[in-house]
């Protein structure tokens, strides 16, 4: 009987953990790892019990920031999300990391806006097995290193500027009419 209860608990935990959730940034400036900034609805007050995972979509929208100069900072070594959208964000927010050692792992699409500052200095790793993944960097220079790894297909919808290296380990990248600029390409 104990084995059946354990098996049922493992199945329920796995099903809960694999489900995707939408995370909405609230409260202006803060650290990515601070769960008080991750609401379950745009402008909402109910927050998630953990930071976004590789299965979760993150949104920075019109209810995310309270004034000019608000900043979202990744202080840790690894952050994850599936899709990330800044569409509708107000007050020219900033997204940044504090270290070249930070690895932001993205498993889906990215939509940045021109009315923001993107000061992310670490590694951005795109990991997916999906097709039709859209990446729009809105003219912002990406991190120190950008890595594509997975069997997915990425569509680069804007110019791609990288501070140091572009590493395409696996997958298919469609650059369309986009410019690619790096210090070195491996």
**Chain-centre distance of CA 30, in angstroms?**
15
Q: Is 18's pLDDT higher than 70?
A: no
> 79: which strand partners?
104
- Mean pLDDT within 115-134: 96
Whether 81 contacts 56, CB under 8 Å: yes
Q: Can you give the pLDDT at residue 90?
A: 97
Cα 30 to Cα 34, 97, 120, 179, 183, distances in angstroms = 7, 12, 15, 33, 31
Q: Can you give the pLDDT at residue 183?
A: 74
Of 143, 139, 101, the residue nearest 126 (C-alpha): 143
Measured over the CA atoms of residue 133, residue 139, residue 140 and residue 145, the dihedral's sign is positive
Q: Is the whole-model pTM more than 0.85?
A: yes
Least confident of 59-63, 68-72, 115-119, 140-144: 140-144
């Amino acid at each position: 009987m104990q084995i059946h209860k354990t098996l049922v608990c493992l199945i329920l935990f796995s099903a809960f953990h694999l489900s995707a959730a939408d995370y909405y940034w609230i409260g202006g400036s803060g650290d990515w790892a601070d769960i008080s900034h991750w609401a379950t609805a745009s402008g909402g007050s109910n927050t998630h019990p953990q930071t976004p995972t590789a299965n979760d979509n993150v949104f920075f929208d019109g209810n995310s920031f309270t004034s000019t100069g608000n900043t979202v900072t990744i202080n840790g070594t690894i952050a994850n999300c599936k899709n990330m959208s800044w569409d509708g964000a107000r007050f020219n927010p900033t997204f940044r990391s504090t270290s070249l050692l930070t690895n932001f792992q993205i498993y889906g699409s990215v939509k940045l806006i021109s009315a923001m500052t993107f000061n992310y200095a670490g590694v951005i790793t795109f990991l997916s097995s999906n097709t039709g993944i859209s990446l729009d960097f809105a003219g912002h220079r990406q991190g120190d290193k950008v890595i594509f790894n997975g069997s997915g297909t990425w569509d680069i919808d804007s110019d791609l500027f990288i501070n140091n290296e572009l590493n395409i380990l696996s997958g298919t990248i469609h650059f369309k009419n986009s410019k690619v600029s790096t210090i070195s390409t491996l």
